[in-house]
Structure 1
Amino acid sequence: MSCSNPQSEVKDPGADIPERRTKPKNNQCIKCKTAAPVIQIRHALYCRECFVYATSGKFLKWFLSNFKPNDVHPVFYVAVSGGPSSRYLLQLLHTQMSPRKGKGSFIRPGSAEKLVVIYVDQSKVVPGAENLRNHIEDMVKDFPSVEIIEADVSESWRGSQASISAYLSGQPGQPPSATASEPTADLFDSTLSTSSQESHLALLTHNIILREARKHADSLLGKDSTAPLFLGTSATRVTIKLLSSMSRGRGWSVGSGEVQPESTQYGLNVYQPLLNTSSKEIAYYNRFAIPAHSQAVVNRSFTTFSPPKSSIDRLTEELVVSLERGFPSTVSTVARTGNKISFAGETKEGERLCTLCGWPARAKANEWKNGIAITKLAGEEDESNPLADMLCYGCYTNLTDSRARSHVNYALPGWTDEYAEKQKVTESEMRKEIEDCLIDDNDNDNE
């Protein structure tokens, strides 16, 4: 007997409602009022020249609001994947690094003496992906002063002698392997969910970029010096990230800097200047303004040529793109709303950080999950679970994937030790927290 509902004869009242697609009333460029338009951005039409001018002007306005025109920085760090967004960001930063004419005969100097490109190779993790180092060299070969730092995803385990092993489901993890590639393969091979694999890869890539920039800044500028780091996250991508992060259980830390235009991480000033620029604008700008020999390259991902339901990110992307097609202001509205979200947890001095992702975490998220889900069978003995207590809900869910094996048994990246040490409360700190409740020994003697 089938459990499905029978076919209903009641028609969906919204089935015949057409898509809401606003068409401009005139067929002229909104800027010059003379040329024929070639692209529609939201509810406005642009010709080719006006579109390039308006798009680059949007970035220039943001840049001048954060950097003084006559200041020259020693270095700019920029994370580059080789895709359209990072290629767009490189092109615009190049215009600001070159000397440009000011008022009268004044020549403004370049905003930075050097550009350091950080590229993380994912070809050893993602099936079918390529190393894009040669393509990135073609993109920056005309830049005045540039350095490329190439890192691999396996860098997360390198240089760490005792990273914490995953001890989440009752069985201690194995000690870290001697080579860096084995823990990398073990982490991704043991994670069967594509959504968790994408989350792991994004987390590792972000932390590697921050650490490589921090290490280079320490050697170039001195220890604990500040430097700007640019990330090419577009409005479309941050909309997808915002919705998918909340779907994965990362809503607690969504306002802590991951979707913010400006934040401070690892002592670096992290900027995301493309949060008001959609992927459509970026694609057309690259087509109109960038030479063919240095165009962006789209690399393979875990969900390339996969159906929308293959992962949370892929399904969210399908939803956002389909909504943007009918309602052109969807991406800009969600992205601007995400920019206004602020973290409402503990103060910055006392906030808890997840030992894996480094973002603010709710205390003992694993206990909350155990209260709403069956995580072990009856009769199993309770064992200490120190690592799970220091993870945020999103990372804990990814590591204990319901489709994965029952005992999580692999080494975690080396920075988990660093984050774990920060969470330990010393005896003096504990005494300071409860000093108001303690009775002084001198008071007892007086009595």
Structure 2
Amino acid sequence: MSTSCGNPAVEKDAEMTRRPKFDRSKQCVKCKEQRGNIVIRHAVYCKQCFFPLIVTRFKKTLEPVVNPKPDGPRKKALKANGSLVIGFSGGLGSSVLLDLVSKTYFSGPPTTTKENGQMRGGAAHPKNRTGADSGVWKGKPAVCYVELASVIPEGKDKTEEVRKTVQRYSASDGFEFEFVPLRIEDAFDDTWWARFGGIDLSTAARSYGADIADELLPLSEIPSSSSTPYTPVQALQTYLSYLPTPTAKESAIQTLTRLLLLHVSASRDASHLLLGTSLTTLSVNLIAGISQGAGFSVSEESFEEWSYPTIQRADSPSIEKTRPSKVRIVRPLRDIGIKECGFWMWWSGLPLVGEKRLSSGRQSIVSLTRDFIMGLEQDYPSTEWKAQISIRSYTDETFAAAGHPLPPHLEDFPPAPTSSVDPPPHIASRLCYACHTTLTSRSSRGNPGRDGLSNVVPLPTWSRASLDVSGVSITRKLGEKEMMSQIQDYLLEE
């Protein structure tokens, strides 16, 4: 026992030996020969073992969902039932994803060899087929980039920089990725929708928007100060300017980008849309989504199978619906952190275009969550992985605006009005809680830019198309000339 207020006197041998941590060793835990160069979740890896580790994690996430049906006990050859689309933002994750896909499935060397240098299984083996002969996906793979210069102040158009980055992966045998450039304002462009969407906007929903001053979001005619309608850029800027908070604007841009990529994928008969969402970004999206009321669909941040209902055009002789196509949204880098992506880019000598973000400072939930997760990446790297594997949910229907799963009992939200008068046509019942909050939440600082103006905002093309298809009736007040044209046959001559 100790006779003072200090620590008790104990024997030196009685102290518990600390468990050694891998990051305190200089040797690689994989080969146990080379000096380590990077620490990943408290484990040290050398540069030579780092690349096979990342490729293994990448393939472990992607390949189980390539075939239309899950493989049985014995792994079958990889054969998708559609083409491939890669979403490219110019950031770390999408740059690493493009490099991994190119080297692994299209232009990389055979990975399986015997001691004598011959390919195991022969040149015709699926694992050894590369370049244009790689038979995993049908057709020509595409890289899709969405330009955000229209929503970022003083934003620079980086479409040509991205095009040059994609062209770097052209193989010597003539293989190359097809580059599909998009712009964020295409979400409000009827011409773009006719080219990629496949549903004719022939009914009254073409000129209608949602009144965000009412929680039911009733459909109303969009006022116009001139005879010409909104241009796509004007419609986009009007839509974003009416959103109440920086969080709502960031969420809206993310949703518009996601739906643009999905509709392009569906137009190309793609079976897979690959996104370069790293473990760090996935954790940010998960926590930020829950904070914004999207907890029901958080599982879609990891893997999603999106059904696109293809409808015949109005001028088509057949009015029957064609079979829906399904696009699998896969994030193959969900087990790879942002630090690993940075080391892959550095050691591979790859150029970085840079990802564009809306400058909201620390005023949005997404920005605050990103700062929080980046701190965990530095001090507690295993926490991100625990957040990612905690995703649990299942769904079977979709929303009109975001295309996310539809939760049960949606008809109970928002509450029905107590008046006996039938409410006007509205879209609130076709939105998830997160999208409804994005449009109707109120900022504590108010929205001075809306004073004296109409609260009717334009809707994206797919939202208007879904209202057309679902048969939502829309009423509006007729003008004097329209009324006269309808009743002129019944007027008596003076």
**TM-score class normalised by the smaller sequence:** 0.7 to 0.9
Query: Does the Cα contact within 8 Å between 1:303 and 1:311 map onto a contact in 2?
Result: no
Residue 215 of structure 2 corresponds to residue 167 of structure 1: no
Tell me, what secondary structure is at the counterpart of 1:310? coil
Tell me, what secondary structure is at the counterpart of 1:134? helix
What's 1:89 paired with? Answer: 97
Tell me, what secondary structure is at the counterpart of 1:263? strand
Instruction: Compute the TM-score of the two structures, normalised by the length of structure 2.
Output: 0.68
Displacement of 1:57 after TM fit?
2.4
Q: Residues 54, 369 of structure 1: CA spacing in aligned structure 2 closer, same or farther, 3 A cutoff? A: farther
Tell me, what secondary structure is at the counterpart of 2:153? coil
What's 1:145 paired with? Answer: 176
Equivalent positions of 1:34-433 (< 5 A) are: 34-67=33-66, 69=77, 71=79, 75-95=83-103, 96-98=105-107, 100-101=109-110, 102=112, 104-105=118-119, 106-107=122-123, 108-109=128-129, 110=134, 111-112=136-137, 114-141=140-167, 142-143=169-170, 144-159=175-190, 160=201, 162-163=205-206, 164-170=208-214, 172-174=220-222, 177-217=229-269, 227-255=271-299, 258-266=300-308, 267-291=326-350, 295-303=351-359, 306=361, 309-338=362-391, 341-343=392-394, 348=396, 351=397, 353-362=398-407, 363-364=410-411, 367=414, 384=424, 386-403=426-443, 404=447, 405=450, 408-421=455-468
CA deviations on 1:216-238 (whole Å, 9 max, x unpaired) are 33xxxxxxxx5222111111111
CA deviations on 1:248-294 (whole Å, 9 max, x unpaired) are 11112223xx2123523432122211111111111111111244xxx
For structure 1, the residue ranges without an aligned partner over 5 or more in a row are 1-20, 218-225, 372-380, 427-447
CA deviations on 1:20-42 (whole Å, 9 max, x unpaired) are x9662321111222222221111
Q: Percent identity?
A: 24
State the distance in 1 between where 2:77 and 2:161 align.
31
Equivalent positions of 1:24-35 (< 5 A) are: 24-35=23-34
Q: Residues 370, 88 of structure 1: CA spacing in aligned structure 2 closer, same or farther, 3 A cutoff? A: farther
Displacement of 1:153 after TM fit?
1.1
Q: Which amino acid aligns with 1:43?
A: H
State the distance in 2 between where 1:124 and 1:287 align.
31
CA deviations on 1:385-405 (whole Å, 9 max, x unpaired) are 612232221111111231344
Query: Does the Cα contact within 8 Å between 2:213 and 2:455 map onto a contact in 1?
Result: yes
Tell me, what secondary structure is at the counterpart of 1:150? strand
Tell me, what secondary structure is at the counterpart of 1:227? strand
Query: Does the Cα contact within 8 Å between 2:244 and 2:442 map onto a contact in 1?
Result: no
- Larger Rg over CA atoms: 2
State the distance in 2 between where 1:356 and 1:84 align.
28
State the distance in 2 between where 1:299 and 1:124 align.
14
For structure 2, the residue ranges without an aligned partner over 5 or more in a row are 1-19, 67-75, 191-200, 309-325, 474-494
Q: Which amino acid aligns with 1:310?
A: Q
Tell me, what secondary structure is at the counterpart of 2:329? strand
Query: Does the Cα contact within 8 Å between 2:275 and 2:332 map onto a contact in 1?
Result: yes
Displacement of 1:158 after TM fit?
1.5
Q: Which amino acid aligns with 1:135?
A: E
Residues paired across the two proteins, number: 373
State the distance in 2 between where 1:55 and 1:44 align.
14
